[in-house]
Amino acid sequence: MRYHLLIDADDTLWENNIYFEQAIHGFITFLDHSQLTREEVRKVLDEVERLMGYGAANFTRSLVETYRRLAEKDLRDEDLRQVRQFGEALSTHPMQLLDGVKDTLDYLSARHDLILLTKGDLEEQKLKVERSGIEERFQQVVIVQEKDVAAYHQVVRDLQIDRQQAWMVGNSPRSDINPALAAGLNAVYIPHPHTWHFEHEEVQETGNGRVLTLATFAELRSHF
């Protein structure tokens, strides 16, 4: 059976959120708030991030805005530059593919139609895909602003995919698994220990789709 495999990118194919967590740790340490705990500072940052949106550029703006709100001293240009550097450093990290990704994609691409489906800032995600060195394994790369049920319906229509023969592969219940199932696709859930906490949800087995949970990306070779 030849399937359409729609595969997520960040924290499914390569490391992503761990670098954001490192930047947040550095930022909170630099802020060194005298009254708020690290957890309380993180809650303020979370609120700002919800307003700013996805991606490294928006994350950098979120850090700056959070610093403006919480700084206990006069805002100095050199301090704001340091805060920006925590976010801007994300773009300099080398792409680190997760274990087994390249070999598994080689195996799968000979047997199935692979589509890379990711969300976020268009140019930022395109650059990640180009830097990853695995773009040629995919028949198409699709970048959307949000992975919700409507987006999955649109992808199915645009690519003329048979929902029953399509699987969404990813680490996020909120973006990869639950909306894909609600749109009538099947899903492969591969949890990542550092999945962004905004993406956490219980897997909801709705619709007619099947759910397969795997420990690693490489295990796809045993099922497809």
pLDDT 10s digits, 100-151:
999 999 999 999 999 999 998 899 999 999 999 999 999 999 999 999 999 9
pTM of the model: 0.92
If asked whether residues 191 and 111 sit together in one domain, one would say yes
If asked whether residues 65 and 163 sit together in one domain, one would say no
CA–CA separation, 21 and 164 (whole Å):
37
If asked whether residues 64 and 163 sit together in one domain, one would say no
Residues of the chain below pLDDT 70: none
Q: Is 5 helix (H, G, I), strand (E, B) or coil?
A: strand
Full domain range(s) for residue 69 = 17-92
If asked whether residues 26 and 9 sit together in one domain, one would say no
If asked whether residues 119 and 210 sit together in one domain, one would say yes
The predicted structure's pLDDT at residue 29: 98
Rg for the chain (alpha carbons), in Å? 19
Domain boundary among 92, 108, 140: 92
Domain boundary among 49, 76, 92: 92
If asked whether residues 163 and 59 sit together in one domain, one would say no
If asked whether residues 79 and 116 sit together in one domain, one would say no
The predicted structure's pLDDT at residue 197: 78
If asked whether residues 201 and 214 sit together in one domain, one would say yes
Residues 6+ apart with CB under 8 A from 64: 80, 83, 84, 87
Contact 185, 152 (CB under 8 A): yes
The predicted structure's pLDDT at residue 83: 97
